[in-house]
Amino acid sequence: MNDQSRIITSPRGTKLHTKGWVQEAALRMLMNNLDPEVAEKPDELIVYGGLGKAARNWQAYEQIVRELKTLESDETLLIQSGKPVAVFRTHEHAPRVVMANSNLVPAWANWNTFHELDQKGLMMYGQMTAGSWIYIGTQGIVQGTYETFAECGRQQFQGSLKGTITVTAGLGGMGGAQPLAVTMNGGVVVCIEVDETRIKKRVQTGYCQSWVTTLDEAISLAHQAKKDKKAQSIGLLGNAADILPEMAKRGFIPDIITDQTSAHDPLHGYIPAGYTLRQAENLRIQHPEIYITKAKQSMATHVHAILAMQEQGAVAFDYGNNLRQVAADEGVKNAFSYPGFVPAYIRPQFCEGRGPFRWVALSGDVEDIRKIDEKLLARFSDNESLCTWIHLAHEQIHFQGLPARICWLGYGERALAGRLINEMVATGEVSAPIVIGRDHLDAGSVASPNRETEAMQDGSDAVADWPLLNALINTAAGASWVSIHHGGGVGMGYSMHAGMVVVADGTTQAAERLERVLTSDPGMGIVRHADAGYEKAIQSAHEKKLNIPFLKG
Ligand code: NAD
């Protein structure tokens, strides 16, 4: 069944459609992932990130919904690449759902094998939070993007992005956070996007302020805003592989250059230069091999232009889409001459177990999120960056689907936030249970040598035991659902990662589960980085009194 006309939205309110709040949370979050306000292509079950899906096909979706509705509170549903495959009796503290998405045996872990299996209906690409039902729309990445640009401003531009121009591409589910993140940091940004509907979506949802169709207009607006030291975001309709070389040719060199097209997937994520969307779609269907060749060649051109801009003074960084790897495979020898965003700006946060923590109001009531914002502002009043972030988010972020909040928290802070939220549910301060989760792009849940684990100081970039241990300990600790994925962010063969979600339903049992999971999960971030020898992580481990055998000598 491929029901193009159906519109899925999560139920709101306190009426249960299942046999318990944990099952209800899984049901609502699956549906929320496919809400047209949230998902990029809901009619194809695609949530974000190229092909990142919430269920393998519509039949599997229906079966998952049916099973969640009848699942007992001592049973566990197993999902294999977006298809429900079994229900086993476990126990009340066990996860209600465990998932394995897009995993391939390493020697077969490439896009060709994946596409063959996908076409046979045997696989699904789960990206990160798409297949693990904790995507919250573009907000999910906006704080990480904000923190990245803020750190770039601190390191390279006297503290902020004021009076600077950033050029980037890709205004999709995650890339759409870039214009808002740059303007929140006071800068000017030109975002090149080939699909007009994506630009319009970002403008409508308040992520991007304006958009234009010609390079001349974009350059003139950007220059003026830079001169006035005004924060401004400008969407530019076009193909990055056409426009960036043209910018370089004209001598328009931005202060910062990066990219968030879905380069991790050469067949579905990147539009080759010179093709309209329609032409690209036809080529993809009729001649996928030619499509892939052309997309990869365009990516090489794209990287050449980034390198040319870097040589002329732009600060260049890779934004986690594996663009450099494709260019290197295409023969661009110095493709890795600019760093990834994690080693450049984010790793110190991972050393403290900090990362993209998030919560979602199952009631659908924005007041619940506002009340939690207030509670955290009061409780964490001495944490300046957290308070600045919550105020910014409150003013500038539009909700998509169920109201949610992203907030980077670290070890200790997450368990405390979980406790506070669960108490608010118990006392009725918020009107229904709250789902708590995170991105897979987190401190201790991912192995991805071109992204989260790029340039680890002990050379352990490709060690993939860590995300597996992360999933195992979160399962043992009683997360509500746990997932193990492959290929997210950077594509097949390049990453392994794990997700977790835990529900605050106000019960004592939830309080216990939250305490355990929200301690072990960020704890893995500290352990992983302490093992790699990062002084900051070792210090965090000592300060927080983590029990780490290898630090005892
Ligand atoms: P998406 O598929 O929703 O959006 C990609 C966008 O790129 C689309 O709008 C598409 O039209 C546009 N595009 C494709 N080719 C183009 C071209 N040649 N020129 C201009 N625009 C083009 O993906 P997403 O969720 O926004 O993620 C984008 C990439 O960023 C992915 O590779 C993802 O893995 C990566 N990512 C990075 C982070 C991070 O924090 N660094 C987080 C999440 C995702």
Distance CA 212, CA 192 (A): 10
Dihedral sign of CA atoms 84, 85, 87, 90 in order: negative
Residue 262, annotated ligand binder?
yes
Residue 227, Cβ neighbours under 10 Å: how many? 10
Non-local CB neighbours of 241 within 8 Å, separated by 6+ positions: 272, 273, 298, 299, 301, 302, 305
Kindly report, residue by residue over 107-125, the tens digit of the pLDDT.
999 999 999 999 999 999 9
Contact 134, 29 (CB under 8 A): yes
pLDDT at 486 over 80: yes
Show which residues are catalytic.
407
Average pLDDT over residues 384-399: 90
What is the CA(504)–ligand 1 centre distance, in A?
A: 32
pLDDT at 1: 44
User: In a mutational test of the pocket of ligand 1, which residue from 292, 321, 325, 454 has the highest number of ligand atoms less than 8 Å from its CB?
Assistant: 321
User: In a mutational test of the pocket of ligand 1, which residue from 260, 322, 347 has the highest number of ligand atoms less than 8 Å from its CB?
Assistant: 260
What is the CA(175)–ligand 1 centre distance, in A?
A: 5
As a whole number of Å, the CA-based R_g of the chain is 22
pLDDT at 221 over 80: yes
- By CB neighbour count within 10 A (0-12 exposed, 13-18 middle, 19+ buried), where does 2 fall? exposed
User: In a mutational test of the pocket of ligand 1, which residue from 261, 267, 306, 438 has the highest number of ligand atoms less than 8 Å from its CB?
Assistant: 261
Distance CA 343, CA 44 (A): 35
pLDDT at 3 over 90: no
Distance CA 187, CA 189 (A): 7
Distance CA 69, CA 37 (A): 24
pLDDT at 47 over 60: yes
pLDDT at 384: 87
pLDDT at 2 over 90: no
Q: Whose CA is nearest to atom 12 of ligand 1?
A: 170
- By CB neighbour count within 10 A (0-12 exposed, 13-18 middle, 19+ buried), where does 496 fall? buried
pLDDT at 223: 97
Closest atom of ligand 1 relative to the 298 alpha carbon: 18
Residue 202, annotated ligand binder?
no
Closest atom of ligand 1 relative to the 490 alpha carbon: 34
Residue 118, Cβ neighbours under 10 Å: how many? 18
CATH 3.30.70.360 corresponds to the domain 1-135+347-544? no
Residue 50, annotated ligand binder?
yes
pLDDT at 439 over 70: yes
| CATH architecture for the domain at 141-338 | 3-Layer(aba) Sandwich (3.40)
pLDDT at 553: 84
Kindly report, residue by residue over 321-344, the tens digit of the pLDDT.
999 999 999 999 999 999 999 999
Closest atom of ligand 1 relative to the 489 alpha carbon: 34
Kindly report, residue by residue over 527-547, the tens digit of the pLDDT.
999 999 999 999 999 999 999
pLDDT at 215 over 60: yes
Identify the band that residue 55 occupies on the pLDDT scale cut at 50, 70 and 90: very high
Which tokens is 492 given? 């097949």
pLDDT at 32 over 80: yes
Closest atom of ligand 1 relative to the 341 alpha carbon: 41
Which tokens is 230 given? 């005004």
Dihedral sign of CA atoms 258, 38, 415, 515 in order: negative
Q: What is the 3-state secondary structure (H, E, C) of 21-85?
A: HHHHHHHHHHHHHCCCCCCCEHHHCEEECCCEECCCCHHHHHHHHHHHHHCCCCEEEEEECCEEE
Contact 102, 52 (CB under 8 A): no
Residue 187, annotated ligand binder?
no
Kindly report, residue by residue over 245-287, the tens digit of the pLDDT.
999 999 999 999 999 999 999 999 999 999 999 999 999 999 9
Cα 528 to chain centroid distance, Å, stands at 20
What is the CA(320)–ligand 1 centre distance, in A?
A: 9
Residues with CB under 6 A from ligand 1: 40, 48-50, 141, 144, 169-175, 192-195, 198, 239-241, 260-264, 269-271, 319-321, 341, 441, 489
Cα 74 to chain centroid distance, Å, stands at 31
Q: Whose CA is nearest to atom 43 of ligand 1?
A: 174
What is the CA(315)–ligand 1 centre distance, in A?
A: 20
Distance CA 220, CA 284 (A): 35
Identify the band that residue 6 occupies on the pLDDT scale cut at 50, 70 and 90: confident
Residues in the chain: 553
Number of helices and strands in the chain (H, E): 19, 17
Which tokens is 86 given? 């079994």
pTM for this one?
Answer: 0.94
Average pLDDT over residues 230-257: 97
Distance CA 209, CA 228 (A): 16
What is the CA(169)–ligand 1 centre distance, in A?
A: 8
Residue 175, annotated ligand binder?
yes
Contact 233, 183 (CB under 8 A): yes
Distance CA 369, CA 136 (A): 13
Average pLDDT over residues 298-311: 98
Stretch(es) of the chain classified as CATH 3.40.50.10730: 141-338
Task: Look up residue 240 and give its DSSP letter.
Answer: H
Stretch(es) of the chain classified as CATH 3.40.1770.10: 1-135+347-544
pLDDT at 5 over 80: no
Name the average pLDDT for the chain. Answer: 96
Kindly report, residue by residue over 110-167, the tens digit of the pLDDT.
999 999 999 999 999 999 999 999 999 988 999 999 999 999 999 999 899 999 999 9
The proportion of the chain whose per-residue pLDDT surpasses 90, expressed as a percent, equals 95
The proportion of the chain whose per-residue pLDDT surpasses 70, expressed as a percent, equals 99
| DSSP three-state, residue 448 | coil
> Phi first, then psi: what are they for 480, rounded to 5°?
-80, -40
Closest atom of ligand 1 relative to the 50 alpha carbon: 2
User: In a mutational test of the pocket of ligand 1, which residue from 127, 139, 180, 262 has the highest number of ligand atoms less than 8 Å from its CB?
Assistant: 262
Question: ipTM of the assembly?
Answer: 0.98
The Cα angle at residue 429 between residues 424 and 430, in degrees rounded to 5? 80
Distance CA 553, CA 546 (A): 14
Average pLDDT over residues 180-185: 95
